[in-house]
Amino acid sequence: MEYEQLQEKLGYAFRDTALLKLALTHPSVTHEQGASLQTNQRLEFLGDAVLQLVLTQELYQRFPDFDEGPLTKARAKLVNRRTLADHARQLGLGQHLILSKGEELQGGRDRSSALADCFEAVLGAVFLDSDFETARALILRVFRTVFGELTVLPIIENPKGELQELVQAISAEVPVYHVVSATGPDHDRVFECTVHHAGVELARGQGKSKKAAESQAALAALTRLREQMQVAKPARKTPSRPGKKTPA
């Protein structure tokens, strides 16, 4: 089946694979094959709207105590171009992109802007091929690999620094990072890092560089530790009223 490997990674099988092919068609091909050829720009527009709605609803429901400001910042963190491009790379969208020869020669297959646009276009294609709930489930599944179960607002700009502050509040030891693997060709490496504290592995992360992998590991560790701290919080007890003393 065409694009079988990609559909397996997506966890979704297209009924109309022409939609998937359109989502993978970069605008540069119009320069070679004529302006009448359809590209993924319209699907990107649709996919962006679906993605925004899914994540807005998720944030709104999960964080009832936060107002518009923090929720908007969190959503921006989730949908920035670098994050979307990283999702595209994890799905291997680059190798399936349909590009012009010129764009191919200029490295367009790994260009972050092209990958981010393609990722949104694929989401738009899934939505058209199925329905909103199916697209929503796919989006949350993809984003869960980076942001966990969204138990804390993902607005952390310096996860390594925040993790160090958190653990040093209870221990003098600092987090230690290790690169455990580096896979893929030299131009498209994927690093996996672990972060440890007091000899215990806290979490793992992946990225296109050691720094990115360490940041993702730190973010995952922060999420995990904060979940544990939330669970460990003692329930607040309602103070009992002193009873009346019985006269002697």
- Rounded CA separation 106/100 (Å): 10
b/e code 44-68 from CB counts within 10 Å (16+ = b): bebbbebbeebbbebbeeebeebee
Q: Are 205 and 215 in contact (CB under 8 A)?
A: yes
Which residue is catalytic, options 44, 48, 58, 117?
48
Q: How many angstroms separate the CA atoms of 46 and 43, rounded?
A: 5
Active-site residue among 86, 103, 120, 192? 120
Angle at 87 (CA atoms; ends 84, 88), nearest 5 degrees: 90
Closest CA to 16 of 124, 120, 128: 128
Is 120 an annotated catalytic residue? yes
Q: Check if 117 is active-site.
A: no
Residues whose CB falls within 8 Å of the CB of residue 100, separated by 6 or more in sequence, listed in order: 26, 28, 29, 31, 32
Name the residue among 153, 171, 137, 143 with its Cα closest to residue 74.
Answer: 153
With a CB cutoff of 8 Å and minimum separation 6, the contacts of 142 are 87, 91
- Residues carrying an active site annotation: 48, 120
